[in-house]
Amino acid sequence: MSKFFEKLKLVFGDKELRKRIGFALALLVAARVLAVVPIPGIDPLRIQSLLAGSEFLNLLNLFSGGGLSNLSIVMLGVGPYITASIIMQLMTVMSPNLKRVYQEEGEAGRKRFAQYSRLLSVPLAIVQGYAFIKLLQGQNVLPQLSLTNLSIDIAIIVGGSLLLMWIGELITEFGIGNGVSLIIFAGIVSRLPADASQLLFTYDPSQLPVYLAGLVVSLLVIFGVVVVTEAERPIPVTYAKQVRGNTTHGGVQTYLPLRVNQAGVIPIIFALSILLFPQMIFQFLSSSSIAVVASISSQALGLLANNWFYTSTYFVFVVLFTYFYTAVTFDPDTISTNLQKSGAFIPGVRPGLSTADYIMRVLTRLTLVGALFLGAIAVLPLILRSITGIQSLAIGGTALLIVVSVVIDLIKKIDAQLSAREY
């Protein structure tokens, strides 16, 4: 505890770091204010009931920082920007030029890549804004709008999403930590008082063992997230000795760290999109005037409503997408080439193709552990709902994973700033 207070004293004793933290907090407060400014003409009771019945809308509400539950001007949140970033990373598989920009051009290439993601966010925000307005009108949450009012609402929603994206980038550049992640983190944390009050108001003394079990599971999940997020497999690397004149260079031994969870929370987002977008489409088609289409849609909705089918399918998709995303973002051939160019090698493994194969084998085994962990975190809320029947005990696995990951990253960024000031 004394070390904690000593570090806290160092953090707030550093003028530059204190200024960065204050700037980030001020922008996070501004983002939270925007999240409670609603668009006109909404029915708050209907939007709450709509969110309660849709896991997909709850996920989008998570990434909007709670803006969707209020139908605020930032109801899309940073969702379009996150979607655009994912699409751009997937495009590197199909476009060698994009792959070169992303992996080989350093900081300048990453800035260009980020600019492409920003530009792609605009049409995605327009499409998502229009789709949400139509969905909300179909659920009688919003009234029918004229073309002019519809265009104005879409412009407000798109502008709000881009404003939130800009705030996130300002936090990243002039504040501390990753701005987009901190905005999502603030939205999740802001919901804690409401969730706690709901738990208290629905408290049943006969369910005390279930509540205690839920608390134990929550602590275990937090512990597991921290361990797996920080876990890595070091691959030993040795630099060959080089004699130049009377001096000897190289001969240094280091290691290549491979993280157990290379993909982060992205596979969960992929899996939810694959499962829940068809569900929304089937809901629209179930009211079709064509009997065959309506019948097929109703049967598909019935199958997706089966909790165990949905849970098992969700788990399998998360595992598959973890492997897929890791393969997209981590290239063993590039790592092998870079090691060979720098005169480094893995002891006992030949340089070149053999090194790439060795790294791939290790990565495949590590990814299995990370994929099973992500799958378990993703389906844990669904399993708890089925076993206990208590909705308020459902641990948001995705939300918990984001919160713990953001806190760990923020602590590392602050430690790095303190180390830079010290030296």
Q: Which helix (H) or strand (E) holds 234?
A: strand 232-239
Question: Which residues pair with residue 247 across a beta bridge?
Answer: 244
**pLDDT at residue 60, as a whole number:** 66
Name residue, tokens 């890595």.
232
| 246: pLDDT strictly greater than 70 | no
Ranges 76-85, 100-109, 299-308, 365-374, most confident: 365-374
- Global pTM reads 0.77
Please check whether residue 57 is in contact with residue 51, taking contact to mean a CB–CB distance below 8 angstroms: yes
| 238: pLDDT strictly greater than 80 | yes
Please check whether residue 36 is in contact with residue 29, taking contact to mean a CB–CB distance below 8 angstroms: no
Ranges 139-153, 270-284, 351-365, most confident: 351-365
| 287: pLDDT strictly greater than 70 | no
Please check whether residue 343 is in contact with residue 314, taking contact to mean a CB–CB distance below 8 angstroms: no
In the chain, the amino acid numbered 267 is: P
Please check whether residue 352 is in contact with residue 336, taking contact to mean a CB–CB distance below 8 angstroms: yes
**pLDDT at residue 170, as a whole number:** 92
| 318: pLDDT strictly greater than 60 | yes
> Helix, strand, coil: what percent of the chain each, to 5?
75, 5, 20
- The upper half-sphere exposure of residue 295, i.e. CA atoms within 13 Å in the direction of its Cβ, equals 3
Closest to 177 (Cα-Cα) out of 28, 33, 24, 26: 24
Any idea which of 191-195, 252-256, 377-381 has the lowest mean pLDDT?
Answer: 191-195
pLDDT band at 26 (very low <50, low <70, confident <90, very high): very high
DSSP structure class, residue 38: B
pLDDT band at 166 (very low <50, low <70, confident <90, very high): very high
Domain 205-423 sits in CATH at 1.10.3370.10
pLDDT band at 254 (very low <50, low <70, confident <90, very high): confident
Domain 1-190 sits in CATH at 1.10.3370.10
| 195: pLDDT strictly greater than 70 | no
| 394: pLDDT strictly greater than 50 | no
What SS3 class is residue 256? strand
Average pLDDT over residues 22-29: 90
| 265: pLDDT strictly greater than 60 | yes
| 65: pLDDT strictly greater than 70 | no
Average pLDDT over residues 318-345: 84
| 55: pLDDT strictly greater than 70 | no
Please check whether residue 83 is in contact with residue 91, taking contact to mean a CB–CB distance below 8 angstroms: no
What SS3 class is residue 61? helix
- More reliable by pLDDT, 381 or 224: 224
d(CA 315, CA 308): 10
Please check whether residue 67 is in contact with residue 48, taking contact to mean a CB–CB distance below 8 angstroms: no
**pLDDT at residue 199, as a whole number:** 67
Please check whether residue 314 is in contact with residue 304, taking contact to mean a CB–CB distance below 8 angstroms: no
| 1: pLDDT strictly greater than 80 | no
Closest to 146 (Cα-Cα) out of 159, 157, 137: 137
| 95: pLDDT strictly greater than 80 | no
d(CA 381, CA 311): 10
- More reliable by pLDDT, 250 or 408: 408
In the chain, the amino acid numbered 178 is: N
Where does CATH 1.10.3370.10 sit in the chain?
1-190, 205-423
Asked whether the CA dihedral 388, 392, 397, 401 is positive or negative, the reply is: negative
